[in-house]
Chains A and B, each alone.
Chain A
Amino acid sequence: MTVAAERDPGATRPLPKVPTGIQGFDEITEGGLPEGRVSLVAGAAGSGKTVFAMGFLVNGAEKYGDPGLFVSFEESSPDLETNFDSQGFDLKALEATGMLTLDHIRIERNEMEETGDYDLEGLFVRLGAEIDAIGAKRVVLDTIEVLFSAFTDEIIIRAEIKRLFRWLADRGVTAIVTGESGERHITRHGLEEYVADFVVVFTHLVNEETATRRMRIIKYRGSAHGTNEFSFLIDRRGISVLPISSLGLRHGAPTERVSFGIAPLDEMLGGAGPYRGSSVLVSGTAGTGKSSIAAAFVDAACRRDEKALYFAFEESPDQIIRNMRSIGIDLERWVEAGLLYIHAERPQTTGLEMHLVRMNREIEEFSPRVAVIDPITNLTSIGTYSSIRATMTRLIDAMKSKEITALFTSLTEGGDSSESTEIGISSLMDTWVLVRNLEAKGKRTRGLYVLKSRGMAHSNEIREFVLSDDGVDLRELPLGGGAPPATRAQS
């Protein structure tokens, strides 16, 4: 596996890498792109190659102080400036400070005539002058294969592109070359992938009206890399990659405990609540109060002065705040204090993976200590079993690695089959709390029990779960009967 590959004794000297500053990408590549080498970004039109490449330069200039050169064989510089302006990249400002040069190389095939031997020294001279002018450390060529259609002598062009890759490396710049996907090769002419030291392929799939972008690292010369596909997102904040599966099971296991905010429930979980950084599943049928448990959990975190991130896939923030106020939990003050952020979104707006990428980014930006996903089932209804498991694993790993304690609610269908529908995700959870409606003697009560909790003694009792104006509480459930319990369980 990847862990073994990384400990390979041959790979003792780490390859110097250049961070892209693109969220998630530097994690999956364990540092970024190979320094002083040429990397290939391949993909179909519209797969995000240009955005990625520009992000590499803009971040380089803004975050790492590296001047960058962007050579476009397709779009003119004003077009690039306009297009990226809508992405929130102010290219003109960077050009003005000498941190970025945009150059458009325009090739008019119909005004050219070839008569005998030639090489592309003119291109080299031009690039060399531009690199020297700003001291460029990062260079992008987008898309180099235009050269193949510009010139007829393919033997010369292949030799010259190979020479260009070596030349860029000799200049000591870290370069990205983009290429259109080919049918039999990664790129159309099957050349760039052999001469590049790093190859990543972008795909853009539209499935049942939801679009999913993925990237896969095909080659990383001199460095271990995962072969997984990683989902990514492009929006006004640029590219964001959902990484993480590379973390595997290497995250730590804190022994600190996190209170649920419901003392009797903490008591059922070894007397102190779940471990910090663990994942908790609260499942139950509709109306059993799962969101209330989540709200109590968030409330308790904010009281400890910890930041909480609430992903709401069913209700709007206002609705959640109003409903929770009715059981005596005031979430609004935490929102105002900046301790709680509610990210509400309809699950249908996009595919599962895109949701997870977006969630990952919110986590990166807000840095919460606890997180709620309410309900996870709304997300899992929009993917296949294996994709759900894979992407959920990544999300859970991401949170574990940051020691974020996560609570997932899960809506189950009525009846005893409830537990089976969650098998897929429950195995990823450390703690599983079930809430169910119990009917007896014409009265409906809610029963709560802990189905599992890894690494701690936990109660096997079923407690009655009560929602009132004072919040959430648990009571002893009278044995064998449906009569309401007379006394409250003491915490």
Chain B
Amino acid sequence: MSAGGETAPQTWKLKLYIAGQTPRSLAALSNLQKIVDEHLEARYEIEVIDLLENPQLAKGDQILAVPTLVKDLPPPLRKIIGDLSNTERVLIGLDLRPE
């Protein structure tokens, strides 16, 4: 079911943009943790970026909505917006599910 059975293992480079430690950011973070633990084991890097601390970083990835999870690698670039509560859609966004 996971991305196993394919070629050499690769690393998912993810960035989670939040704006302060709001309940919604915390929910996104815990939802994300559950998903990667289950589907990516050790093949991931997560950087959490709090825009309230680094407002200038909103520009680079064109972040308007928060929380936004950016998948830098593997390509293509994807932005997964919201608290990541819909696991199925997160998996599609991370290319861990077809369609």
Contacts and interface: CB of A to CB of B under 8 A. Distances in A.
Interface in A103-161: 103, 105-108, 111-126, 128-129, 147, 150-151
A122 B17 contact: yes
Contacts of B56: 129
Interface centre among B17, B52, B56, B58 (most CB of A within 10 A): B58
B85 A125 contact: no
A128 B54 CA distance: 12
A112 B79 contact: yes
A160 to B, nearest CB: 9
Interface centre among A115, A118, A147, A150 (most CB of B within 10 A): A115
A107 B82 contact: no
Contacts of A115: 80-86, 89-90, 93
Contacts of B78: 111-113
B66 A107 contact: no
Contact of A112 (B28, B81, B84): B81
Interface residues of B, number: 34
B86 A117 contact: no
Interface string A382-414: 000000000000000000000000000000000
A116 B85 contact: yes
In this complex, the interface size class of chain A, counting residues with CB under 8 Å from chain B, is 20 to 34
Contacts of B86: 115-116
Contacts of A125: 19, 51-52, 55, 58
Contacts of A128: 55
Contacts of B82: 114-118
B81 A129 contact: no
A431 B39 CA distance: 90
Interface of A: 103, 105-108, 111-126, 128-129, 147, 150-151
Given A113-B78, A150-B64, 17 more contacts: A105-B64, A107-B64, A108-B62, A111-B76, A113-B92, A114-B82, A114-B89, A116-B28, A117-B82, A117-B85, A118-B82, A118-B83, A119-B24, A122-B58, A125-B55, A126-B51, A126-B63
12 contacts: A107-B62, A112-B79, A115-B80, A116-B31, A116-B82, A118-B66, A119-B24, A122-B19, A122-B58, A123-B58, A126-B55, A129-B56
